Amino acid sequence: MTDNRNKKRLLPSEKRRRRRIVMLNRTLFGIVCLLLLAFITYTIHLVLGFIFPDKPAEYVISGNEVTTEASQADSANTAASGSNTNGTSLHQDTETDVFNDEPAAHASGEAMNNSNGTTAASTDDISLDYPYSLYHSKTICLDAGHGGSDTGAHDSKGSNESDQNLTMVLTLKEELEKYHFNVVLTRSTDEFVSLQERCSIANNASADLLISIHRNSFPQDSTICGVEAWVCSTKPAKDTAIAQKIINSLEKVYITGNRGVRYGARDIDDGEGEDYIINKASNMPSLLLEMGYMSNSEDNLLFDVYMKEYCQAIARGLADYCLNNK
């Protein structure tokens, strides 16, 4: 009875106290729930951010700038061709003159870095400018003039033309293959191969182009110098255009003189007519390229110093020719 009376007497205040406690508990519970919710949301955000990070592919290095994907299309060519440490673009407009700036660097296979030291592109990316699909079907037959017992011309130091021709052809092969050209050689060692046999090799390979590499000589006058190309006396337009392209390319590396595209043969003495056999007996566009005079010291010096650059320039010139004459 006493307990019941006490209960009844304390009930109003007790009720109020209990209500306050209940309200307080509910408020605290709400705050805890909100904090918990915020923590869970933050955790989910972190986890999702870890699983789906921002894609670096959305950004592309263009020259010295990092641009967003929106401008990627415009800068794709720049990114592909890279830039040197000075920020100068090495990419050339393939529709226009292509040897204005450091063509050797472009085709040398060296990585090109931007100012941040980040590799923007290497010339392994040559295929971005010069698509594989265009060139892998093009066969170029390279002929290293002379060979074996036929040593060709000589310089004052006793170097053989046949050796220099072979060295250049092997280097040119490497440079052409960077553009995915299919390259066939008439000889790859110091051996004698007849002129007819050289043409047969090109014809049997169904080559699209035959280039015979030589070095000139005119001991009677050692001041005569320069590069020239010989094509068939019928003056075929395509042969002439390719020969001109090659000489123009070489001129932009550096040669003592551009002796131009010539027709027929200088002093043919094999009784086969007015053309070099290389041009006469081949079924495809062809040219005989005279890479300066072995009887001229400056031509010899330039050949020694720039032979690789010459090959790079020829390769790029041919690649551009194909690109612009599909």
Question: Taking a C-beta distance cutoff of 8 angstroms, is the pair 184, 207 a contact?
Answer: yes
Terminal-residue alpha carbon distance, the chain: 113
Q: Which stretch binds Zn ion (CB under 5 A): 10-18, 63-71, 91-99, 140-148?
A: 140-148
* CA 61 and chain centroid, separation: 18
The arrangement of strands across the sheet holding 227-231 comes to 182-185, 139-144, 209-216, 286-293, 227-231, 258-263
Q: Min. distance of Cβ 234 from Zn ion in angstroms?
A: 22
Which residue of 106, 138, 214, 280 would you call a contact of Zn ion, by CB under 5 A?
214
Which residue of 82, 147, 152, 317 would you call a contact of Zn ion, by CB under 5 A?
152
Q: Does residue 317 interact with Zn ion by CB under 5 A?
A: no
DSSP letter assigned to residue 271:
S
Q: Does residue 145 interact with Zn ion by CB under 5 A?
A: yes
Judged by beta carbon, residue 216 or residue 249, the one nearer Zn ion is 216
* Alpha carbon distance 157, 180 (integer Å): 37
Judged by beta carbon, residue 303 or residue 321, the one nearer Zn ion is 303
Q: Does residue 63 interact with Zn ion by CB under 5 A?
A: no
Judged by beta carbon, residue 198 or residue 214, the one nearer Zn ion is 214
Q: Min. distance of Cβ 233 from Zn ion in angstroms?
A: 19
Q: Does residue 292 interact with Zn ion by CB under 5 A?
A: no
Question: Taking a C-beta distance cutoff of 8 angstroms, is the pair 269, 195 a contact?
Answer: no
The closest of 115, 67, 108, 68 to 89, measured between CA atoms, is 115
Q: Does residue 180 interact with Zn ion by CB under 5 A?
A: no
DSSP letter assigned to residue 64:
T
Where along the sequence are the contacts to Zn ion (CB under 5 A)? 145, 152, 214
